[in-house]
Amino acid sequence: MEVSVRRTTLRLLATFRSSRLAYDSTDTCIVTIVHGGVEGRGEGTPAWAHGETVEEVIEAVAGEGAEILGPDLSDPDEVLDRVAEWKAPVGARMALDGAVHDWLGRNAGQPTWRLFGVPRTLAQPTGYTIGIASVEETLEVVANAPDVGAFKMKVRSAEDLDRLVAVRAVTSRPIRIDANEAWSFETARDLTPRLRDLDIQLIEQPFLAGAVGNYRRYRELPDRLPVFLDESCTDVASVHAAQGLADGVVVKLAKSGGVRATRRVMEAARQLGLSVMLSCNCESELALSQAALLAPLADRIDIDSQFLLRDPPFRGLGLDQGRIVLGDAPGLGVVAAQEERPAVEAGPGSNAGS
């Protein structure tokens, strides 16, 4: 089993802003495994919200990745369980898990989604995220947006109401909002009637993850918005904690650590009657194709970072009437957009990275 890892930088078409941060590029990790002459690639995004760094992801994969995978992939379920339970950065688990899923498809000469019985065209239309900007800039983004099924607008305060009003005036598509923990209970209470008037579909993470009392108080309001937890929900235990606080959860590979671990989170949420939104961080089409393997378990899809990237390193995803269409290449379905840089061999004493 050969394992290598490298850093790659994803550059955005424009600076993206939320209530939490602003950025125009982000780093991710690409892991390549080779077994039996067949290659598999996976992407792992550091869980930045929990303080993870690219360097930590690279160090974990370089130092322990080959040992965690084992000598062969004859029992992929056992391998994927080991990866999911590995005490390593989330990004490292996500990348190894993705590489195994890519290898499985390539080894069979088929797209992995076909092996897993996932429809090539996802059943639910995807959302499209719009960062915080002026009213004019926001309307320009809406006018140039791909043909998606919904808009998700980042918000910070009552000052964003003008943006929501302007967007609702030009589109009948569903609008979801995401405060990224920026609101107080009073802000949510005071804005809810206006948001209802604008037919806002739901709100993601209005309050701090630890502000349990605010979530309980908001649930008691008449005619409140449905609440989905994002930052609060990372694993099965946090899904159980979400019961009684929210109507749904937002799941991401970069929070839970890959397809296998995220599947467990989604299954737990569904068993508890919580709605599930499958989402992403700023990732390439390689990572998004990993996430898409879980689409049948999702009630809503928010796989959209491919629309935000300049010179994406992988290509293969399509869009049909708002629905993501998966690539047909063997493995995860995507191909490298250009020749990749040489990777660094990962093993004991390796100094992987770039």
Q: Report the candidate in 181, 177, 237 with the shortest Cα–Cα distance to residue 214.
A: 181
pTM of this prediction exceeds 0.85: yes
Within a domain: residue 245? yes
Q: Are residues 235 and 258 in contact, defined by beta-carbon separation less than 8 angstroms?
A: no
At 21 the pLDDT is 86
- Confidence grade of residue 352 (pLDDT, cut at 50, 70, 90): very low
- Domain of 106? 2-113+336-345
Identify the sign of the CA torsion 156, 157, 160, 161.
positive
Judgement on whether residues 161 and 70 belong to the same structural domain of the protein: no
Question: pLDDT tens digit string along 8-42?
Answer: 999 999 999 999 889 999 999 999 999 999 999 99
Question: pLDDT tens digit string along 193-248?
Answer: 999 999 999 999 999 999 999 999 999 999 999 999 999 999 999 999 999 999 99
Judgement on whether residues 89 and 134 belong to the same structural domain of the protein: no
Q: Report the candidate in 281, 274, 219, 286 with the shortest Cα–Cα distance to residue 256.
A: 281
Q: Report the candidate in 153, 233, 135 with the shortest Cα–Cα distance to residue 200.
A: 153
Residue 304, CA distances (Å) to 10, 50, 51, 147, 319 in order: 14, 22, 24, 11, 10
Judgement on whether residues 100 and 195 belong to the same structural domain of the protein: no
Q: Report the candidate in 249, 246, 251 with the shortest Cα–Cα distance to residue 263.
A: 251
Average pLDDT of the segment spanning 74-88: 97
CATH number at residue 173: 3.20.20.120
Within a domain: residue 6? yes
At 338 the pLDDT is 72
Question: pLDDT tens digit string along 129-179?
Answer: 999 999 999 999 999 999 999 999 999 999 999 999 999 999 999 999 999
Within a domain: residue 328? yes
Average pLDDT of the segment spanning 316-343: 86
Question: pLDDT tens digit string along 106-128?
Answer: 999 999 999 999 999 999 999 99
Structure-model confidence comparison of residues 50 and 241, the more confident one: 241
Judgement on whether residues 182 and 52 belong to the same structural domain of the protein: no
Judgement on whether residues 242 and 165 belong to the same structural domain of the protein: yes
For 125, the 3-state DSSP assignment is coil
Judgement on whether residues 36 and 146 belong to the same structural domain of the protein: no
Judgement on whether residues 279 and 303 belong to the same structural domain of the protein: yes
Judgement on whether residues 241 and 204 belong to the same structural domain of the protein: yes
Q: How far apart are CA 60 and CA 3, in angstroms?
A: 12
Q: How far apart are CA 170 and CA 157, in angstroms?
A: 22
DSSP secondary structure, 263-314, as one string: HHHHHHHHHTT-EEEE---S--HHHHHHHHTTGGG-SEE---GGGTEES-SE
Q: How far apart are CA 111 and CA 90, in angstroms?
A: 25
CATH number at residue 46: 3.30.390.10
Average pLDDT of the segment spanning 95-102: 98
Within a domain: residue 232? yes
- Structurally, the chain folds into a number of domains equal to 2
Q: Are residues 321 and 124 in contact, defined by beta-carbon separation less than 8 angstroms?
A: no
Mean pLDDT score across all residues of the chain: 94
Residue 234, CA distances (Å) to 128, 180, 230, 315 in order: 22, 15, 8, 28
Q: How far apart are CA 256 and CA 97, in angstroms?
A: 11
Average pLDDT of the segment spanning 266-286: 97
Judgement on whether residues 260 and 139 belong to the same structural domain of the protein: yes
Within a domain: residue 207? yes
Residue 92, CA distances (Å) to 9, 95, 104, 168 in order: 16, 5, 19, 40
Burial class (CB in 10 A: 0-12, 13-18, 19+), 332: buried
Q: Are residues 327 and 302 in contact, defined by beta-carbon separation less than 8 angstroms?
A: no
Within a domain: residue 118? no
Length of the chain: 354
Burial class (CB in 10 A: 0-12, 13-18, 19+), 283: buried
Structure-model confidence comparison of residues 73 and 354, the more confident one: 73
Judgement on whether residues 158 and 285 belong to the same structural domain of the protein: yes
- Confidence grade of residue 348 (pLDDT, cut at 50, 70, 90): very low
